[in-house]
Structure 1
Amino acid sequence: MQIEPLQMTPVSMHAESHLGETQEPPVVKSFGEYLGDALGNVNALEKESERLKAALAAGQVEDISQVVVAAEKADIAVQLTLQVRNRAVEAYQEIMRMQV
């Protein structure tokens, strides 16, 4: 029994090649764009947490677990962001200490 190796081609490329369409090159984001998107996501989590806290204070939320989960998500996202920032600053400082 002969086993053929699998060819790993993305489905979208495979489907387009049969249709005769040209494939667009993948969109490449810069580091700044990725960083901006990540900070935007953290900000959105913080805003959602604040909105749910205000709704809870106004008596509009019946399930307090939603508020707690949103607050924890926002807190974890902020902690992660701070740790990434700290590591980036440490890496920058280490590079600046290198002698050329």
Structure 2
Amino acid sequence: MDVGSIGADRIQAMMAQLKAQATKPVGAPAVAPVGGGEAPAAKVNFADALKNSLESVSASQSKASEMGKAFSMGDDSVSLSDVMISMQKASINFQATVQVRNKLVSAYHEIMNMQV
């Protein structure tokens, strides 16, 4: 399975699913439960999930910055290793966020370039 690109047949299948969901009544579940179990009670909103993850990345960067400032000011409660670990975690979080953004932009461009 190629993760980097989506084939035309897969896009057509996704479009068919979206059209089918658009014709369903408002109260009907959007996705059938897997394995015959009941659907989860809480639905995950993409915008909320994205907002929460961006806030988490921002918080980790702020924490790393504050720890760095505290260490440079001579605070004995903050060690160099704690500062470096915090900065690396913030860097990894930011890099992952950039990669997700790149994938979203790539998918958007691919959809916009589709022939209708």
Question: What TM-score comes out, normalization by structure 1 length?
Answer: 0.72
1:73 aligned to 2:89?
A: yes
Larger radius of gyration: 1
Unmatched tracts of structure 2, length 5 or more: 1-39
> Residue by residue, what CA displacement relative to the aligned partner does 1:40-60 show, whole Å, maximum 9, x if unpaired?
100010010001000011010
Give me the CA root mean square deviation: 1.2
1:87 aligned to 2:103?
A: yes
AA matched with 2:98: L
Aligned length: 76
> Residue by residue, what CA displacement relative to the aligned partner does 1:23-68 show, whole Å, maximum 9, x if unpaired?
xx73222100000000010001001000100001101045210000
Question: What TM-score comes out, normalization by structure 2 length?
Answer: 0.62
Unmatched tracts of structure 1, length 5 or more: 1-24
Question: Percent identity among equivalent residues?
Answer: 37
AA matched with 1:37: N
AA matched with 2:51: G
The aligned residue for residue 54 of structure 1 is 69
